[in-house]
C-alpha cells in the first residue's frame, strides 16, 4: 500500500503528529505528491525496469517469440532523518497556552526535517555521505539525460518536449525545477504566444502547468551545477510518481517521541524521526534536462 504525506496527515488521530506532517508537506513541494511505500525491515530490495518488452504483428501459423522486460536488482537502505527539539520548562509553564509553545518548537524542527529531506531528494549522494540516500542527480540514468550543449546552453521549448518524451509510457506526472528555471520557461512560453496554465493545488496555492503537466518548484534544486566548462547551471527533472517511476520508502512514517527532561538544563526534549529513502523503480519513469544557463 502506498500513500502520500498529505494523506497520512489526514489519517492520523494524533493532532501534534498531524501538525508536524502538515508542516513537512508545506515546506516541500515534492512531498505533497510523492507516494510512499511502507517497508518491513531496514531496506528494500527491488527490481528496476530498464527496458520494456516489445510486441509484434503475426500471421496465422507464425512462430510467436517471447520477449520480456529487462530488470536491474537493487537494494536501498532506509536512512534516519530527524532532529531534537527542546522546550524550555520555564517558558512552557508560564506561556499562555503550553500546547502552542510546543507546537511552535516542533514546527521549527519539522521544517528543518523537510528541508533536509528535499535537499537529499535532489542532491543526495550516498557515496559522499553514507548516512544519506541517493537523490535524483545520482539516480537518473545517462540514457535518460539530455544536455543543453557540452558546456550548457539556453533553455528552449524543443528540449522541453524532448525531455517529456523520454518518460514513457504515457507522460510525466510532474516537472521539477528551481524558481529561476521556472521564470525562464514562463518567458519562453510568453514569447511563443502561450502562457503556462494555472490552477490551485491541495493547499489552495497557485499552481502552474506546462502542457497539462504540473510544475513543482523547489528551492533545494541547485543552480550552481557544472557541465564541461559551464557553471551556474540548473536542471529540470521529468518524473512519473509511483510504481512506474519515483517513490519514497519508509518504515512507520514520520514519528514524534518525547525523550523527557534534560539532565543539564531545565528543558524537555522531543525527537522527530523518519526512517525513509527514495527509489526509482523504472529507468523510463525519470528524465533529466541539464546544463540550463541562468540567462
Residue range 197-230, pLDDT digits in tens: 877 665 566 788 898 899 999 888 999 999 999 9
Q: What pLDDT is recorded for position 239?
A: 96
pTM: 0.84
Beta strands in the chain (DSSP E): 2-4, 35-38, 43-51, 70-77, 79-88, 145-147, 174-177, 197-200, 206-210, 213-217, 225-227, 230-239, 246-250, 255-261, 267-280, 286-292
**What is the number of structural domains in the chain?**
1
Q: Is residue 160, in this structure, part of any structural domain at all?
A: yes
- pLDDT number for residue 88: 86
Least confident range of 72-76, 82-86, 195-199: 195-199
pLDDT over 70 at 148, yes or no: yes
What is the rounded average pLDDT for all residues in the chain? 85
Q: What is the reported pLDDT for 204?
A: 65
pLDDT above 90 coverage of the chain, percent = 42
Mean pLDDT within 275-290: 93
Read off the pLDDT band of 146 (50, 70, 90): very high
| Domain assignment of residue 59, yes or no | no
Q: For residue 126, give every residue at least 6 positions away whose Cβ sits within 8 Å of its Cβ, in sequence order, or none.
A: 132, 133, 134, 138
Domain encompassing residue 6: 2-51+73-292
In a domain, 63, yes or no: no
pLDDT at position 6, please? 62
Position 214 in a domain: yes
- In a domain, residue 66? The reply is no
Return the pLDDT at 14: 58
- From 37-46, 60-69, 97-106, 196-205, the region with the lowest mean pLDDT: 196-205
Mean pLDDT along residues 35-48: 88
Q: What is the CATH number of the domain that holds 78?
A: 3.90.1690.10
How confident is the model at residue 89, as a pLDDT? Answer: 85
Domain contains 64: no
Predicted pLDDT at 11: 52
Cβ atoms 176, 218 nearer than 8 A: yes
Give the single-character DSSP code of 202. Answer: T
Q: How far apart are CA 213 and CA 219, in angstroms?
A: 19
Whether residue 263 is predicted with pLDDT greater than 90 in this model: the reply is no
Residue 51: per-residue pLDDT: 72
pLDDT confidence band for 248 (50 / 70 / 90): very high
C-alpha cell at 155: 533553455
pLDDT higher for 135 or 193? Answer: 135
Asked if the model's pLDDT at residue 279 lies above 70, the reply is yes
Amino acid at each position: 500500500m502506498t500513500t502520500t504525506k498529505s494523506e497520512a496527515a489526514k489519517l492520523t488521530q494524533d493532532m501534534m503528529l498531524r501538525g508536524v506532517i502538515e508542516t513537512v508537506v508545506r515546506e516541500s513541494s515534492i512531498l505533497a505528491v510523492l507516494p510512499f511505500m511502507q517497508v518491513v525491515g531496514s531496506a528494500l530490495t527491488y527490481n528496476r525496469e530498464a527496458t520494456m518488452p516489445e510486441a509484434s504483428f503475426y500471421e496465422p501459423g507464425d512462430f510467436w517469440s517471447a520477449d520480456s522486460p529487462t530488470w536491474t536488482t537493487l537494494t536501498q537502505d532506509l536512512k534516519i532523518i530527524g532532529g531534537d527539539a527542546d522546550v524550555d520548562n520555564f517558558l512552557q509553564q508560564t506561556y499562555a497556552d503550553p500546547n502552542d509553545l510546543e507546537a511552535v518548537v516542533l514546527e521549527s524542527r519539522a521544517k528543518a526535517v523537510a528541508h533536509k529531506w528535499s535537499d537529499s531528494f535532489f542532491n543526495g549522494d550516498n557515496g559522499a555521505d553514507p548516512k544519506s540516500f541517493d537523490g535524483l542527480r545520482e539516480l537518473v540514468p545517462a540514457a535518460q539525460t539530455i544536455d543543453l550543449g557540452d558546456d550548457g546552453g539556453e533553455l528552449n521549448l524543443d528540449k522541453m518536449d524532448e525531455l517529456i518524451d523520454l518518460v514513457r509510457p504515457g507522460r510525466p506526472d510532474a516537472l521539477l525545477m528551481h524558481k529561476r528555471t521556472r521564470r525562464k520557461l514562463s518567458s519562453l512560453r510568453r514569447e511563443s504566444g502561450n502562457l503556462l496554465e494555472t490552477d490551485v493545488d491541495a493547499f489552495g496555492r497557485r499552481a502552474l502547468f506546462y502542457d497539462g503537466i504540473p510544475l513543482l518548484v523547489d528551492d533545494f534544486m541547485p543552480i550552481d551545477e557544472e557541465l564541461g566548462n559551464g557553471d551556474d547551471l540548473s536542471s529540470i527533472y521529468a518524473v512519473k510518481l509511483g510504481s512506474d517511476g519515483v517513490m519514497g520508502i519508509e518504515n512507520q512514517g514520520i514519528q514524534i517521541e518525547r525523550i523527557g527532561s534534560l539532565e543539564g538544563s531545565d528543558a524537555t526534549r522531543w525527537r522527530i524521526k523518519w526512517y525513509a529513502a527514495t527509489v526509482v523503480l523504472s529507468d523510463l519513469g525519470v528524465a533529466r534536462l541539464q546544463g540550463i544557463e541562468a540567462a
